[in-house]
Amino acid sequence: MKRHRSWGPLTYEDGSMSFSLWAPALSSLSVDIDGRVFPMEDRGGGWFSSKRIHVPEGTTYMFVLPDDTRLPDPASRYQEAGVFGPSRFLSSEGFGWMHQDWKGRPWEEAVVYEIHVGTFTKEGTFLAAIDHLARLCELGFTAVEIMPLAQFPGQRGWGYDGVFQYAPHAAYGSPHDFRRLIDAAHSHGLMVFLDVVYNHFGPEGNFLPLYAPQFFRKDDPTPWGDKIDFRQQPVRRFFTDNVLYWLDEFRLDGLRLDAIDQIEDDGEIHILEEISEAVRESFCDRHVHLITENPANGPDLLADVGGGRRLFVADWNDDFHHALHVAVTGEDVGYYAPFSEDPWQQVKKTLAEGYLREGKASLRARNAPLSASLPPTAFVHFLQNHDQVGNRARGDRLNTILDERCHWVLTEILTLSPQIPLFFMGDDHLSTRAFHFFSDYDGELAKAVADNRPKEAENFGGFPNGSGPEDIPDPNDVKTFIRSRLEWDDAEAAEGVAWGAFLKLLLHVRRTVVVPLLADAKGNAGTVVKSEPDAVFVDWSCGGQVLRLRANPSEHVRRLDGDLGRLVYPTEREVLPGILEPWSTHLYIG
């Protein structure tokens, strides 16, 4: 699939190349290509372009403003020297894909493993990550989700402050290195999803306001910066093209759109709908999945819009995580406060119906259906992700603060339920390594980032054991970043090996028993079955059969009533009729 793109460098069949930029704030514009300056043609509507012959691979360029200021291309494909350096032209044409026949996988097969490239390995590169893909495949994972890569300031960070949406972060490797990672993942049968941020730009290295202040709105900022003004057609094109760019030129299997509740669009067709339609029209020959993070819980984006098609395939369901976290830790401050009343009942409701709090429609032209009317696969569930670990005061993982028997049962609930399970990197071997929030700023900006950390810690569990704000590591200290790296020797230790074997068994049961029921799963599938408050008894009608989960995350024996069908997974080696032992789970089908 190839289509014309408005922004950034574009190559032609005759070997020529054009540079384009929307810069309505400027009266004229030039481009500096490897030290030679060429005037750009004013095409009207704020657009400037320059077509050049035989621009070599690796060429560097910058745009030259009327006052002779030189700035990089906001649609640069590679910022090898960082956000203030020149843009570098690299074409995808010469990359030799080894697995061009890869068509992806159906969504119901997804078992997602979230990674941060910079801390996934000691090297922190795309190429180093390849070495661990075979193990993930062997355990039963089917997808890798990568935290944002859009070039951001400095060498290290989470990526949610990206300013070059088309350029993979140079500290991780070149764009071709990223392609090699994706190609290698496909060789192991792994899908690759990328987290993208379309609600704001980071605070440093964003030069768009100098070219086009109309790119942003000043009337209603997001918590992280000015909102993007999707009322402007060139702005809309910037992002629809960006979506197609990642999916086409990198052969990604899908995107997860961050915090879409902060994407505001009053147009006749919402930008989120426009993105979805562009993907549907452009990729008919392989599976491509669009996922949201929507704290507003707007189910209309996940509803059937005709022919069994949904604009977005699933949403990250914080309600499941928050209720479960409160139930097992007792932490009920900040974001967890609304889940403090009867949290186990709320856990069961999320498993049966999706959201706890029904949100408003995201699209003006649509009504929001009840989340219970959506199939279970419309929700991504997790015990933790980068947010819920990295924003904690100590960056500690759930498995380090829970009774191991409880964590065992929670993992069974996550894996054996029909929702799509997501694991955070290290969850495959019970990593005890902290994962902190880290960044690479200086001066006042560094201080502002550090000053915000106590507020985030209050939202994610507070300050345990008498610790306080002074105990939060400085996010801009390189040691904070280094402490967040996975230690892969842990996966070879006895505990890591045993946990991996357990997880492999669970994912085998999911693949062979649960997944075959999910392709035809419909809405209103889940039912909470009466039980003791802390017992998780939920049934789902899927694929013409009933899946029955009976989980006991407590130290008390629980009774099982009636004919539950065929027992396909028990925690215990010896199962007693009608009995669910403490800290155990059964899965039945019938």
CA distances from 585 to 349, 416, 515, 518, 574 (A): 18, 10, 18, 21, 13
Q: Hey, what are 421's tokens?
A: 């399970």
Question: What is the SS3 assignment for 152?
Answer: coil
Active site residue 258: yes
Three-state secondary structure string covering 483-543: HCCCCHHHHHCHHHHHHHHHHHHHHHHHHHHHHHHCCCCCCCCEEECCCCCCCEEEEEEEC
Residue 128 CB neighbours (<10 A): 17
DSSP for 179-231, written as a single string: HHHHHHHHHTT-EEEEEE--S---SSS--HHHH-GGGB-SSS-BTTBPPB-TT
Pairing of strands 566-570, 17-22: unpaired
Beta bridge partners of 364: none
Q: Residue 175 and residue 139: Cα distance in Å, rounded?
A: 28
Distance in angstroms (rounded) separating the CA atoms of residues 61 and 71 = 9
User: How far is it between the farthest Cα atoms of the chain?
Assistant: 82
User: In this structure, what is the dihedral angle of CA atoms 491, 497, 498, 499, given to the nearest 10 degrees?
Assistant: 40
Integer Cα distance of 563 and 567 in angstroms: 10
Cβ-proximal residues to 299 (8 Å cutoff; 6+ apart), any chain: 354, 355, 358, 359, 368, 369, 370, 371, 373, 374, 378
Nearest by Cα to 386 from 152, 116, 205, 122 = 116
Candidates 241, 253, 258, 318; catalytic one: 258
Burial of 150 from C-beta contacts in 10 A (0-12 / 13-18 / 19+): buried
**Cα 543 from Cα 586, distance rounded (Å):** 20
First to last CA, the chain: 44
Count of residues making up the chain = 590
The structure tokens listed for 16 are: 């020529």
Q: What is the DSSP letter of 420?
A: E
Find the catalytic residue in 249, 293, 318, 534: 293
Q: Find out whether 419 and 376 touch, Cβ atoms under 8 Å.
A: yes
- Closest residue by Cα to residue 73 from 56, 90, 57: 90
Q: Is residue 351 a contact partner of residue 291, using CB atoms and an 8 Å limit? A: no
DSSP 56: P
Residue 11, φ and ψ in degrees, nearest 5: -100, 155
Catalytic, 332? Answer no
DSSP state of 96: -
For helices 233-249 and 271-282, give the axis angle rounded to 10 degrees. 40
Cα–Cα distance between 393 and 395 in angstroms, integer?
6
Contacts of 436 (CB under 8 A, 6+ apart): 390, 395, 473, 475, 480, 481, 483, 484
**Quick one: 531 exposed, middle or buried, by C-beta within 10 A (0-12, 13-18, 19+)?**
buried
- Active-site residues: which are they? 258, 293
